[in-house]
Structure 1
Amino acid sequence: MSSTSGAGPVLDADEAAAIDPDYPVTPVPAHARKSFFSVAVVLLGFTVFTPTMLAGAALGPAFDFSGLLLVIAIGSLVLGTYVAVMGWIGARTGLTTVVMARYTLGTRGAKLSSVLLGGTQVGWYAVVVGTIGDLTAEALGWESYGARAAVMVVTSALMCATAYWGYGGMYWVSLVSTPLILILAFWVLARSLQEVGGFAGLADVQPTTSMALAVAVTTVVGTFVSAGTQAPNWTRFAKRGSHAVWACVIGFFIGNGLMVFFGAVGALTFGEGDFVLVLYQLGLVGWGLVLLFGNLWKSNADTAYAFGVAGAELFNRPSKAPFVIGGSVIATVLALTGVQNHLVDYLVLLGTFIPPLGGVIIGDFLARWRRGIPEDHVPPAVRWPNVLAYAVAAFLAWLSGELEIGIPPVIGILVAVALSMGLSRLSAGRPRSAVAG
């Protein structure tokens, strides 16, 4: 180990690769960067995620077709823009989100981001594992809790192993499964449209429930805002910032938007937002299980990877491996208790409190680190101006949701960016010299 600073252990590229080839607490060196295609495949594989359809199913009955498209477009634009900026910063610095937070919030303040982001990803992992167990039992007519629990444990072990393998494991699983999943999804979409007489028939379907626009957009943003805040975990492998931006657009604007749309159409035509269950209704149980396992395996491997690198930062360890394993065990236990039954409220919560954290990182980077982070820079224990910026932005985002004024995630991001940029310039100014990260 070369040295130790306030930001944790400082390793050179060879030392970091020897401990963990994914560089969880150090910048990804140039020789380890990946192609645009590789990064795009991983991000698209992450967001083509069937539980996202449940958010679409909640939106579908609340809007007419044009209103539904507007909600999905606004939510996806907010999410895609936010994630693209985060992804660009990740490519520029070569750092994960939680390690970037050391420079924004301080070495101790960054523990807040590790707990917040790592904790939400453990929750998502639990939701997915529980969903697999429930849907498999439903498909095969299993009444036994033991059989359902066994499915959860086995699938969790496969997901954990893929995340343990690292970026390479997630890439190959995504490359194989994502095309098959999209083919199945578009086929089910075509069958759904046949049920209502095509898009014209879908446009004639009238809302049966109501939902405020702000709540609906927050739900769309919330589907992947926590994961999107951690997009640098993968875009740090991009060779160029532009590659990271376009990979995020493909994954979070197009991929995630499609999944919300699929769920809404399924709810309007078959009364069921999850295409896995639609396939069950069509008598295609085998293909339903293929869609279920292929989709959730790759998405949850990314989730495990995210809480693995968060744990590495939280405990200042150069390897993500023990935290991938530990988080997977905790999440599996949560899944066995039925945590997956509270998804919509969870999404709204994420859509309120996670974006301000990314907003603070964006604002601080634009104010102080656009030319790169100096190699000899030692962050303070707590960077209070940015901690304050996050607290204020998160509170205003929550308040806007309570008062139904504006769109909470947008308010949280914009307030956080503005406050962190202003306070960073006032408190520290810009570094005199820097080298690209």
Structure 2
Amino acid sequence: MSEPGASPRPGTDSGSGPGAVGEPNAAVATGPGGSGSGRAIDPDYPVTPVPSTARKSFFSIAVVLLGFTIFTPTMLAGAAIAPAFSFAQLSLIVLVGSMILGGYVALMGWVGARTGLTTVVMARYSFGLGGAKLASILLGGTQVGWYGVVIGTIGDMTAQAFGWESWGARAAVMIVTSALMCATAYYGYRGMYWVSLVSTPLILILAVWVVFRSLQEVGGIDGLLAVAPTTSMSVTVAITTVVGTFASAGSQAPNWTRFARTGRQAIWACIIGFLIGNGLMIYFGAIGAITFGEGDFVLVLYQLGLVAWGLVLLFGNLWKSNADTAYAFGVAGAELFNRPHKGPFVIAGSIIATVLALTGVQNHLVGYLGLLGTFIPPLGGVIIGDFLARWRGGIPAAEKYQPPKVCWHNIGIYVLASAIAYVSGLLSLGIPALTGIVVALVLSYGVGRLPGGRASGRAERWHNR
């Protein structure tokens, strides 16, 4: 097993080459729009490129992304679509939706590895220094909301397991678990790696065991194939549901793939996490819904009388996923306020989210956060298209290029793509998340290739010195 923080061999430069950021000293806060004060930043490089000496192994990146997507609430998406289709139709829908999601996230991850930057810092090049604040607010704010939803869910389900009716007992569980998740995110990439490495195999073992019990319940594979649909749902809506499970969170894949040594490693890690991992969780939820009438494996384990294992699955799964969420709003906060440390924003966001959870936000915010799944993916589409058109040959060093305050053409493309995606959802035309991504990518690429659209000057290659 490779050490998660292992460095490339001396003399190699896994961060250089086409697309690498020309950052001669990534150990100080001198990224685009950075303060340039020379202050040391934390080892997760929230606002500057990840240097070659800090790049991780493929195994490490894959473990973190798989741990991110092995997320039990995703199973509820499978439970929602399963009753409307035969098992063969369901399998095709999950495959198509997962391929769309995996393809989009793989492109985002590739750009992250090539630049060494988080999504919100890459947005500075596409939207301008001021325009990037829109990305930080949307991405960071959404993750704070999801963090609160997960904390509230843990409190409610723990209370259900033990039969607690006291608000104080639920509140104590929320505060303690939030502190653990916050500490993991504060520790950074390495903390998330070890939590994922330990918890993900255990969760998969439990999930496979529940699937085996589910097959016994329904009479084996033949019984599962014989189950007839009991509700109706269009194929478009079903695929949209699959894509929407992680379209928003997947837009932040560069937060982790920027540590990859090559773009190819980032692509394969994203495929493992978002196509295979996310697809499996949807399948597991679908099978649970067909056999037990319940898509959440935690509740299935409760029904089987395995409360202790249900709690293990609940805490292990949501701990690692919410640590990733806290990390995401931490780096978004660092970009928003132009600070070289993510830690204060991890703590502040966790406190805000925990307060929201204590007020019962999990009962009211999910629909709103789902709506943001339409408006966030176009951000990624603009970043991908703009990178391919203008920055593929290399992003200049910070001292050589200062992004404009606002790139109004890309802001306009984002607004237009989001509007088209939203209207397509209202009219049930196509897949909103995919529509927004494609429109944004194509328009930003086209505008970037126009005369005068490409960045002036030649990017300096950054080599490991």
TM-score by length of 2: 0.90
Amino acid of the structure 1 residue aligned with 2:460: V
Q: Please tell me whether residue 75 in structure 1 is matched to residue 100 in structure 2.
A: no
**In 1: Cα distance, 2:124 partner to 2:461 partner:** 17
* Of 110, 113, 131, the match for 2:132: 110
Whether the 8 Å CA contact 1:267–1:273 is kept in 2: the answer is yes
**In 1: Cα distance, 2:153 partner to 2:161 partner:** 12
Question: What is the CA distance between 1:63 and its match in structure 2?
Answer: 1.8
* Of 430, 445, 448, the match for 1:406: 430
- Residue by residue, what CA displacement relative to the aligned partner does 1:99-147 show, whole Å, maximum 9, x if unpaired? 0000000000000000110111111111111111111111111111111
Higher helix share: 1
Amino acid of the structure 1 residue aligned with 2:219: G
**In 2: Cα distance, 1:202 partner to 1:262 partner:** 13
Question: What is the CA distance between 1:436 and its match in structure 2?
Answer: 4.4
Q: Please tell me whether residue 272 in structure 1 is matched to residue 294 in structure 2.
A: yes
Q: How many residues align?
A: 433
Give secondary structure in 1 for the equivalent of 2:35. strand
Question: What is the CA distance between 1:318 and its match in structure 2?
Answer: 0.6
TM-score by length of 1: 0.96
Distance 1:224 1:11, change over 3 A: farther
**In 2: Cα distance, 1:397 partner to 1:335 partner:** 30
Q: Which structure 2 residues correspond to residues 184-223 of structure 1 after superposition, within 5 A?
A: 184-223=206-245
Amino acid of the structure 2 residue aligned with 1:337: T
* Of 383, 388, 391, the match for 2:415: 391
Partner in structure 2 of residue 236 of structure 1:
258
Structure 2 alignment gaps of length 5 or more: 1-26
**In 2: Cα distance, 1:82 partner to 1:19 partner:** 30
Partner in structure 1 of residue 34 of structure 2:
8
Question: What is the CA distance between 1:341 and its match in structure 2?
Answer: 2.9
Distance 1:347 1:218, change over 3 A: farther
Question: What is the CA distance between 1:26 and its match in structure 2?
Answer: 0.2
Whether the 8 Å CA contact 1:128–1:300 is kept in 2: the answer is yes
Whether the 8 Å CA contact 1:219–1:348 is kept in 2: the answer is no
Distance 1:181 1:369, change over 3 A: same
Partner in structure 2 of residue 299 of structure 1:
321
Coordinate RMSD, CA, aligned: 1.7
- Residue by residue, what CA displacement relative to the aligned partner does 1:297-343 show, whole Å, maximum 9, x if unpaired? 01100000000000000011110011101111111111122222357
Whether the 8 Å CA contact 2:151–2:174 is kept in 1: the answer is yes
Counting aligned pairs with the same residue, the percent is 73
Distance 1:342 1:56, change over 3 A: farther
**In 2: Cα distance, 1:72 partner to 1:345 partner:** 22
Distance 1:215 1:240, change over 3 A: same
- Residue by residue, what CA displacement relative to the aligned partner does 1:29-82 show, whole Å, maximum 9, x if unpaired? 000000000011000011101111111111111222122112211111111000
Deviates more, 1:171-180 or 1:61-70: 61-70
- Residue by residue, what CA displacement relative to the aligned partner does 1:224-272 show, whole Å, maximum 9, x if unpaired? 1121100000000001111100000000100011111111111111111
Whether the 8 Å CA contact 1:50–1:274 is kept in 2: the answer is yes
Partner in structure 1 of residue 394 of structure 2:
372
**In 2: Cα distance, 1:286 partner to 1:431 partner:** 61
Amino acid of the structure 2 residue aligned with 1:127: V
Amino acid of the structure 2 residue aligned with 1:401: G
